[in-house]
Structure 1
Amino acid sequence: MATVKKRSTLIIWKDVIFAIFLREIKSKFNDKLGIAWSVISPVSFIFLLSFIRGKMDGGNTHGIPTFFFMVYGMILVQFFLGMIETVSVSIKKNKPLYAFRQVQPISSVIAIAGFEFLVKVFVILTIAVLCLFLKMETQIDDPIEVMFIVVRVWLIATSLGLISALASCYVPELDKLRNLAMRPIFFISGIFFSLQDIPREYWHYLDWNPLLHAVELIRYAAYPAYGSEGVSYFYLDIVTIVLVFFSLACYHVSWKQAISR
């Protein structure tokens, strides 16, 4: 007589997340270029913007080589925007799977957020290999803090994406408004400029943005000579904690109603 093997809730949850993760890989990279395009696109854009900024300041931006000045800003902002875009559609994208009792929307969010995180890690490793190949002088004074800042941005973007995904289940038109709202982020988060390029009396128009704090602080963690004036680890931490708890609270209250609509 065959025996039925019981699995714990945690193991079932892990298997569901892994299955959705594999499903995301197949759907994301089913074209000829595959994962290569996820690397080629940001790397080529970084080189282009580095060339433009390098012509303006002679290849050194506030104590950082212009290429790496652009690398840190571009990677974080593209990571942030890409995370919000993919997580925002994660619940609707996998809605047919919720017919199975073991599959819950949070599994989709975690799987897709984790997938995007790994893709960005692959992009970072590719840039590092290119720098070694081109014999570019690199410096990361505090690599642990650099990693922690990336994780903070990942948590912020995932939280905002989860809130957006829940809201769009009730009001589908919010997807269009989200795309409009995210466009200015690319220009006000310090990719092409630093707070040091802006007069101090105008800082309050920009320093509400936690992504700007993350960009400036990651440059400071890599190159301490860059400085951290105008930005704060405390502010970045508070925003991260508040958004994570708020998004999870929203999910706990509304996920059943959201997927039934």
Structure 2
Amino acid sequence: MNPALRPVHKQRSFASLRAISALVLREMATTNGRSANGFLWAIAEPVGGIILLTAIFSLGFRSPSVGTNFAIFYATGLVPFLFYLSISGKTAAAIQYSKPLLAYPAVTFMDAFLARAFFNLVTQVMVAYLIFTVIYFTQETRTDPQILGIVLSLAMALVFALGVGAMNCFLFTAFPWWQFAWAILNRPLFLVSCIFFIYDDVPQPFQYYLWFNPLVHVIGQMRKSFYPSYAGDYVSPAYVFGVGFVLLGIGLAFLTRYHRDLLNS
């Protein structure tokens, strides 16, 4: 390698780091407001959803599909789902959100993408930690949380979310109509990701089709990590990581090839 190129590479690395840091600070100020109230709302929203679902379903059912505690059962489904939904949605809007800043040579589309991914990853990890900790220490859950299994579930959700986010980041900018189409297509996802029930209770042939939903595996892995008696043999981390990395590679390839055209359109 030519030694003369090294300083240029280092300068570009530091420039990207500074750009990402600035974009993260901008994200904090604009997304959650300049006070703590906005950030608290990011935590209160999933907590409120779990409380509401617990109250509704406890009226109609004696016990959840696994275990005896409704709150932890729905938390193991809702937390990874919202984890995916937040990161995929925010990264998908990275170019649209930062388009004025991308006119500057010092800021690239990758800086904007990574900044949104990092900020929302940290936020959602804090949300997951607080929700699980509060439920575990305030209620009788009869669960045995396995940290490595929980981390694996969130890692699966992260890779899949980044893949979907990268693809939609290109598609939303190149084809504005796709954003509305995606919103319609995405609505049933809440009902077919095994948040309210477990995969094992779904009859055939629907069980076969549900298997191809990566979020079913993400949520199944999360429940395996809390309930020692739940086998979850259908869970395939390799499938989720494979789908996520393929989508991420294709999305970034399109963004790299066409991002200048998208910015000038």
Residue correspondences, number: 257
Q: Secondary structure at the match of 1:258?
A: helix
Q: 1:110–1:164: structure 2 CA closer, same or farther, 3 Å change rule?
A: same
How far is the alpha carbon of 1:133 from its aligned partner? Answer: 5.1
Alpha-carbon deviations, 1:53-106, whole Å to 9, x = none? 334442343246332221011011112222222222110111111121110011
Q: Secondary structure at the match of 1:183?
A: helix
Instruction: Determine the C-alpha separation between the residues in 2 that align with 1:79 and 1:91.
Output: 21
Within-5 A mapping of 1:241-260: 241-260=245-264
Structure 2 unaligned residues grouped into runs of 5+: 1-6
Picking from 19, 36, 45, the partner of 1:41 is: 45
Identity of aligned residues (%): 24
Structure 1, 105-114 or 227-236: larger mean CA deviation: 227-236
Judge conservation of contact 2:168–2:251 (CA < 8 Å) in 1.
Answer: no
Instruction: Determine the C-alpha separation between the residues in 1 that align with 2:196 and 2:16.
Output: 42
CA RMSD of aligned residues (A): 2.2
Judge conservation of contact 2:91–2:165 (CA < 8 Å) in 1.
Answer: yes
Instruction: Determine the C-alpha separation between the residues in 2 that align with 1:118 and 1:184.
Output: 27
How far is the alpha carbon of 1:141 from its aligned partner? Answer: 4.4
Instruction: Determine the C-alpha separation between the residues in 1 that align with 2:206 and 2:105.
Output: 52
Structure 1 unaligned residues grouped into runs of 5+: none
Match of 1:17 in 2: 20
Match of 1:213 in 2: 217
Give 1:17's aligned amino acid.
Answer: I
Match of 2:62 in 1: 58
Alpha-carbon deviations, 1:197-240, whole Å to 9, x = none? 21143212211101111111221122231111333223223222
Find out whether 1:26 has 2:26 as its counterpart.
no
Q: Secondary structure at the match of 1:24?
A: helix
Match of 2:111 in 1: 107
Q: Secondary structure at the match of 2:195?
A: coil
